[in-house]
Each structure stands twice: as C-alpha cells, then as structure tokens.
Chains A and B, each alone.
Chain A
Amino acid sequence: MRRPSSFLLAGRRYSPAASLLLAAPFLLLIVVVFLLPLATLLHESLFLPSPGLQHYERALAEPVYLRVMLRTLRIAAQVTALALVLAWPLAWVMSRSKGLGLALLAAAVLLPLWTSVLVRTYAWMVLLQRNGVVNQWLQKLGLTDEPLKLLYTEPAVVLAMAHVLLPFMVLPIYSALKGIPEDYTRAAQMLGASAWASFREVIWPLALPGVTSGCLMVFLLALGFFVTPALIGGPQQMMIATLVSQQVREMLDWSFAGALVGILLAFVLLLTVIFRRAVRLDRFVGQG
C-alpha cells in the first residue's frame, strides 16, 4: 500500500523528486550551517596538527576533562529524572482537561518556551542568589539563620535546567496520554484493577513511547546545554558545552574542541540508537 519514498500531504501523494524539491531549502540550510562546520571541526580534531587520535586520548585521559564529562552526564540524568517527575502529573491533568482549563495549562507549559532561555536563567539567578527570594523566605520561616549558598551549586543547575527543558518532557507525554482512551481505565477498573494496577499495567506501558521520547529529548538537550549551566553553575560546575566554548574562545584550540564535540556526538548517536531500539521493541502493532 504505502510507498516508502513518497508522502501524503492534503490528500496528495508526491513523487520522490517532488518530495526532495520541497525539502531542499531546509536540507541546504542543514548542510551549509550545520553539517559542513561540524565536518570541518571533526576533521581538525583528527588531522591537525598531525593525523591521529591524540586529542581524543587527551580528552579521555586527563582527569579534569573526564570530570567535566562525567558531571555533564550526571547533571543531564538528574535533569531528565526531575523533569519526568514534574512533567508526568502535569501531562496527566492536561490530557484529562478540556476547554479553558486545558488552555491555561497549555499556556503555562508553552509560555516559558516563548521566553528566552537567558531571561529564564536570570530569573533563577534572582531567585537563588545570596539575598534572593528563596533565601529571604527560608530566613523568614526560620529554617536557616544565614543565607545559604544556592547559586553555583549542582542542585541549582539541575533545578533551573529541568525548568527550562520541562516543555520538551511535558508535550510528548501529554500527546501519548491524550491518545489513551478513558475507556481503557474504565475497562481496567471494571476488570478488578486498582488505580495503581491500572496505572502500572495499562497507562504506563501505553504512555512509554511518549515518556522515552521526552526523556531522550531532555537528556540530549541537557548534554549540550550552555547558557544555564554557565550562569547558574559557574566555573565550578562546568559542563561540556562550556568546556568546548572555552577551548575555542580562550585557548583557540579548535582541534581539542573538535575532539570534545566528537566524543559528545558519538555518545549522543549511540544513545539515540539504543533508545530507538528499546522503544520499537516496546511498540505495539498499530492501534485500532
């Protein structure tokens, strides 16, 4: 029935040639501003000043760099977990609301997405700084005598990044939950399932594709995040993107920066492939 190389738009089928033509502007842009520079950078990391893996060896051998990479992974994993915990109930409520309620919730999720990351990050700095709102409240409530150091800590980075990346977790989960008819929950209850059992046996497995794509997206975005960790984490909480930028702008060591990018890229690709496999195996065949 479906030819793999043609797609359907407004009821029309386009030939492969027409499909290619329609996608051409975007493909051109991707090649010129993304793939070419990336290739150049990777080329430098492998062949300059002499061909070999010396930059990669250095990146993986020196504890300073290794520590940054491990911290990046750890923070990205924490951000993903926190975003999932925050996003699930929100997505659930959204999937079960209609009209004004849904509009308000959707606005609450999307509005931050339309605000610049920089603005949101500065907002977190205002909240978390030494004389910030959070510290004032903690003191007023008598939970602490003197201001706590909140800014420039790993939890602060995780919290702010989870907030910035939350929509990328909420939206795929919301759309997965939206696709689960309410009758499934009713059927499960009727068949003797408690609320928890119907969640575990029916809702969660059916929402899993949305959960995995949300997690994957947040994790990958978090790995390469620059602005928020640089401003909220400071130099002590350096993540890999900041390290790359430092190598390029301060050390002018493009080859080593290229090697760091290469490692990050290889890791991201590997992770994507693994996740894809896992989700595909879990996918049910079609949906009636």
Chain B
Amino acid sequence: MAEAARHQGGILLEGLVKRFGPVAAIDGVSLAVQPGEFLALLGPSGSGKTSILMTIAGFEFPDAGRVVIGGEEVTWTPPNRRNLGMVFQRYTLFPHMTVLENIAFPLKMRGVARAAREEQARAALRTVRLESYGDRRPAQLSGGQQQRVAIARAIVYRPRVLLMDEPLSALDKNLREEMQIEIKQLQREIGITVVFVTHDQTEALTMADRVAVLDHGRLQQLGAPRALYEAPETPFVARFIGETNFFQGRAGGAASDGALFPVQLDNGAQIHALAVGAIAAGARLTLALRPERLRLAPAGAPGLAAEVREAIYVGNATTLLLRGADGATLRARIPAGAGFSEPAPGEHVTLQWEAGDARAFAAAA
C-alpha cells in the first residue's frame, strides 16, 4: 500500500512555458521529480521558481508544455482536484477555526465523517509535535507553530505531493534551521514527494535530495547539492551557490568536456583549467575558482601573484581578501587549525591551485 502510494508521487514537467506579457516567467523548463524525492527549486526573485510551483499546484496554467503527476496529466486540472498538499509563504491557517478544525478542514472537504476527521487531525497534530495545541486559535501560536500546523493540514489527507513555497522565510534564523531539519525528517518518515521553493542556497543544499537552479525562467542545472557546488555547469550556478572567484581569459587550444587545457588569463598568467562543455581554440572564457581551493605560497613561487588586503577571522576559517596583479579582488579561505600560516595585510603572496579546480566556461556570445 505504502509502496503503491509512493509511485503516485512522481512529477513530470515537459517544456513548460509561461509568459506574462513580453516576459517569459518560465522559459521551456522540463524536469522530472522522482516519487519520494525532496526537490528544491532555487533561484533569485524573478527566476520563475514560484511560477513553476504555481503551475504544479494549478493556480497558473502554462502557455505551452505539460504537467504530469503520478502518471496522470493534470495540466488543466483545477487545484482542488489535484490532491496535492501545499504550505504557503504567508500564514494561511483560517483564523476563525481552531487548530484542530483547520487540520480537519481538508478531510471535511473530502466527506470524512466527523469522528474519523478528528482522530486523523489529532494524529497529524502529533506528527508535528503540537498535540496540546488543538483547541487554540492560529493567532495564539507563534510563527513556527503556525507553519507546523500548516504542514499538518497539508499532509493529513495523504496527498501524493507536498508543495512548499518558501514556508520558512518569515521565521528567524535559528528557528528556520530547526524547522529545516524537522521538515526533512518528516518527509523521510512519511515518504512524500516534496517540491520546495526557496531563494536561500543554504536551505536548498541542507534539505534537498536534488536542487534545480533557475535563472530568468530557465533551468540552469539540476543535480545533487554536492554536484552543484563541486561541479557547477554554468557561471550563474558557480556564482549563485557558494562563493567564487571569477577570471576572464582565452582558450589556448580546443578542449572537450572535462579535459584539462591551457588558458591564457587576461591578467597575463598562463594556467591550465578544466573544460565545462566543449571549448573551441581561442574562445573567450569565464573561469571559476572556489576560495577554499586556493593555496598560499611565498611571493615569487609559480602561480598568481597577489597582495593581501584584509584577513577576516571567522572562527572555523580565515577569509583573505587579496588584490591580484591586475587589481581584481580575490577571495581565499584558509581553514583554521590546519597549521597554515596566516599572512598579514600588505604581504605579497602567490596563489596556487590544482588545475582541475579551475572550471572554464565558454563565455556567452
């Protein structure tokens, strides 16, 4: 039974397009969410992540493309017939009902008898650890408690998919982190498919099995958190997830995807880098290099010469702000307690790295 229920939870988006006037909020997005998977839609505001969620929910209808949930096409099905759960950004508990009545509401809509309603609502309230709050009004709960009740209300009827639209954005930082773990655990326990919209990369990386990074309505990259951080496929993903140093340069030769090849940086340095996608000889390149992959060597050693401008101690590491020979600002991160010397501001150093840590993207024409 549980296994059968799981298989209903897959989502398939095919070639979704949604225009608002001349602007494409969703510009040809296709992706598949596996049953029981936790997928985060991550992007800055205006990236289309919320439009995609609203299309899955049925509040918006695409100009082109299909939405398939559990093998059944629902592109034009109204929201109340999709049997999905949703937790909204703002608190949407009905203020004139008690907590328990709120949770029982979807069961009432499904014609469940009163006694069964109450029993199931109490069970759902237990799952979010708010048993003793059933008779309160939503206004008497804190923001975090309200969102937990909203989750209980969204799962009490065992929907095949739970959609979450930045549900934690109104909460303060500590509570947010606590809730992230709680939601993740709950999702594993009940094995529900979750699509979670957020603009917070840490939240996406912490919670999701896979993250879909979006920009300007286009899917930039879809992958596990580690893959996104370690192997970004576009400069946007490299910039949006974590910190990155960027260099401009020109390919010293042709390279196929994943190959090491020589690069002439605009600041004069000759380096080797890892090609992301096929790259033609002489092509303009954008290179991305993570701050923690940089090593410091004494001035004069082979590598990129730089001057330390600032050393910022952040507890588990020291962040160095450096100025390259061409005046560009660079960041390097030296882990604490590893016995590395910490240079003082004004000192001249050389930056070194493994060739494979510099990722080269062909610059957009």
A: residues with CB less than 8 A from B are: 181, 183-184, 186-194, 197, 201-202, 205-206, 282, 284-288
Q: Are B94 and A189 in contact (CB under 8 A)?
A: no
Q: Are B96 and A189 in contact (CB under 8 A)?
A: no
Instruction: Give the CA-CA distance A158 to B94 in the complex, in Å.
Output: 37
Choice from A183, A201, A284 contacting B137 with Cβ under 8 Å: A284
Q: Are A288 and B146 in contact (CB under 8 A)?
A: yes
Instruction: Give the CA-CA distance A225 to B138 in the complex, in Å.
Output: 43
Q: Are B79 and A186 in contact (CB under 8 A)?
A: yes
Instruction: Give the CA-CA distance A267 to B96 in the complex, in Å.
Output: 31
Measured CB to CB, the nearest residue on chain A to B156 is A191
Annotate B74-103 by CB proximity to A: 1 below 8 A, 0 otherwise: 000011100111101011101110000000
Given contacts A188-B94, A286-B140, 7 further A-B contacts (CB under 8 A): A181-B92, A184-B92, A189-B80, A192-B83, A197-B109, A284-B96, A288-B91
Q: Are B95 and A186 in contact (CB under 8 A)?
A: no
Q: Are B92 and A287 in contact (CB under 8 A)?
A: no
Choice from B79, B137, B140 contacting A190 with Cβ under 8 Å: B79
Annotate B138-176 by CB proximity to A: 1 below 8 A, 0 otherwise: 111000001000000110010000000000000000000
Instruction: Give the CA-CA distance A108 to B3 in the complex, in Å.
Output: 59
Measured CB to CB, the nearest residue on chain B to A198 is B80
Measured between beta carbons, the chain B residues less than 8 angstroms from A193 are 80, 105, 109
Q: Are A184 and B94 in contact (CB under 8 A)?
A: yes
Which one of A183, A189, A205, A285 has the highest number of Cβ atoms from chain B below 10 Å of its Cβ? A189
Q: How far is the CB of B296 from chain A (nearest CB, A)?
A: 52
Sample (20) of A-B pairs whose CB atoms are under 8 Å apart: A181-B90, A183-B90, A186-B92, A187-B92, A187-B94, A190-B84, A190-B85, A191-B109, A192-B157, A193-B105, A201-B94, A282-B96, A284-B95, A285-B137, A285-B140, A286-B95, A286-B137, A286-B140, A287-B139, A288-B139
Q: Are B139 and A286 in contact (CB under 8 A)?
A: yes
Measured between beta carbons, the chain B residues less than 8 angstroms from A194 are 80, 109
Q: How far is the CB of A210 from chain B (nearest CB, A)?
A: 13
Top 9 closest pairs, chain A to chain B, by CB? A191-B106, A187-B92, A192-B109, A286-B139, A190-B86, A284-B96, A189-B79, A288-B139, A183-B92
Measured CB to CB, the nearest residue on chain A to B79 is A189
Measured between beta carbons, the chain B residues less than 8 angstroms from A186 are 59, 79, 86, 88, 92
The DSSP consensus for interface residues of chain A is helix
Q: How far is the CB of A209 from chain B (nearest CB, A)?
A: 10
Instruction: Give the CA-CA distance A201 to B110 in the complex, in Å.
Output: 14
Q: How far is the CB of B186 from chain A (nearest CB, A)?
A: 18
Measured between beta carbons, the chain B residues less than 8 angstroms from A284 are 95-96, 137, 139
Instruction: Give the CA-CA distance A187 to B154 in the complex, in Å.
Output: 9
Q: How far is the CB of B237 from chain A (nearest CB, A)?
A: 31
Instruction: Give the CA-CA distance A190 to B79 in the complex, in Å.
Output: 5
Q: Are B96 and A205 in contact (CB under 8 A)?
A: yes
- Judged by a CB distance under 8 angstroms, whether B321 is at the interface is no
Q: B91-140: which have CB < 8 Å to A? A: 91-92, 94-96, 105-106, 108-110, 137-140
Q: Are A206 and B95 in contact (CB under 8 A)?
A: yes
Q: Are B137 and A191 in contact (CB under 8 A)?
A: no
Measured between beta carbons, the chain A residues less than 8 angstroms from B139 are 284-288
Choice from A183, A202, A288 contacting B138 with Cβ under 8 Å: A288
Measured CB to CB, the nearest residue on chain A to B84 is A190
Q: Are B90 and A192 in contact (CB under 8 A)?
A: no
Measured between beta carbons, the chain B residues less than 8 angstroms from A286 are 95, 137, 139-140
- Judged by a CB distance under 8 angstroms, whether B57 is at the interface is yes
